[in-house]
Chain A
Amino acid sequence: MKSRTPGRTSRPMGLKAGRTMHAGPLTYLVLAVFTAVSLAPLIWTAVAASRTSGRLAQTPPPLWFGGNLFKNLERAWTEASLGDAMLNTTIVAGSITIGTVLFSTIAGFAFAKLKFRFSGALLLLTIGTMMVPPQLSVVPLYLWVADLQWTNQLQAVILPTFVSAFGVFFMRQYLLQALPSELIEAARMDGASSLRVIWHVVFPAARPAMAVLGLLTFVMAWNDFLWPIIALNQSNPTVQVALNSLGTGYIPDRAVIMAGALLGTLPLLLAFLLFGKQIVSGIMQGAVKG
Chain B
Amino acid sequence: MSETAEYAETASPGKGDAAPAASGSRQASPTSSWRSRLYRWDIKASPYLFVAPFFLFFGAFGLFPLLYTGWASLHRLELTNLDDSTWLGLENYTNLLQSDYFWNALGNTFTIGVISTVPQLAMALGIAHLLNYKLRGSTLWRVAMLAPYATSVASASLVFTLLFAWDGGMVNWLIGSVGIDPVNWRESSWGSQFAVSSIVIWRWTGYNALIYLAAMQAVPHDLYESASLDGASRWQQFRHVTIPMLRPTILFTVVVSTIGATQLFGEPLLFGGTAGSKGGADHQFQTLGLYLYDQGWINGHLGRASAVAWLMLVLLLLIAAVNLLIARRLRKDR
Interfacial residues, chain A to chain B (CB-CB below 8 A): 1, 3-4, 7-15, 17-23, 27-28, 30-31, 34-35, 37-39, 41-42, 44-45, 48, 56-61, 99, 103-104, 106-107, 109-111, 114-116, 119, 122, 125-126, 129, 131-143, 146-147, 159-163, 165, 168, 188, 190-196, 198, 219, 222-223, 225-226, 230, 239-240, 243-244, 246-249, 254, 257-258, 260-262, 264-265, 268-269, 271-272, 276-277, 279-280, 283-285, 287-288, 290
Say whether B202 contacts A41, CB under 8 Å.
yes
12 contacts between A and B (CB under 8 A): A31-B127, A37-B202, A110-B47, A136-B312, A137-B69, A196-B10, A196-B11, A198-B50, A243-B154, A244-B270, A261-B154, A264-B152
CA distance in complex: A59, B175 (Å): 12
What per-residue 1/0 map shows which CB atoms of B106-128 lie under 8 Å from chain A?
Answer: 00000000000000000100010
Say whether A1 contacts B228, CB under 8 Å.
no
Say whether B309 contacts A38, CB under 8 Å.
no
- Inter-chain contacts of B312 with A (CB < 8 A): 133, 135-136
Q: Is B53 an interface residue (CB 8 A)?
A: yes
Interface size class of B (residues with CB under 8 A): 35 or more
Most buried by B among A35, A58, A195, A287: A287
Contacts across chains A and B counted by CB atoms under 8 Å = 362
Say whether A41 contacts B160, CB under 8 Å.
yes
CA distance in complex: A156, B276 (Å): 24
- Inter-chain contacts of A115 with B (CB < 8 A): 47
- Inter-chain contacts of B7 with A (CB < 8 A): 190-193, 196
Q: Is B89 an interface residue (CB 8 A)?
A: no
Say whether A12 contacts B147, CB under 8 Å.
no
Given contacts A9-B231, A137-B65, A257-B158, contact A248 B143 (CB under 8 A): no
Mark out the residues of chain B between 146 and 203 whose CB falls within 8 Å of any chain A CB in the assembled complex: 146-163, 165, 167-170, 172-173, 176, 202
Given contacts A19-B217, A284-B210, A284-B211, contact A139 B224 (CB under 8 A): no
CA distance in complex: A280, B148 (Å): 13
User: In the complex, how many angstroms separate the beta carbon of B43 from the nearest chain A beta carbon?
Assistant: 7
Say whether B297 contacts A269, CB under 8 Å.
no
What per-residue 1/0 map shows which CB atoms of B270-307 lie under 8 Å from chain A?
Answer: 10011010000000000001001100110000100110
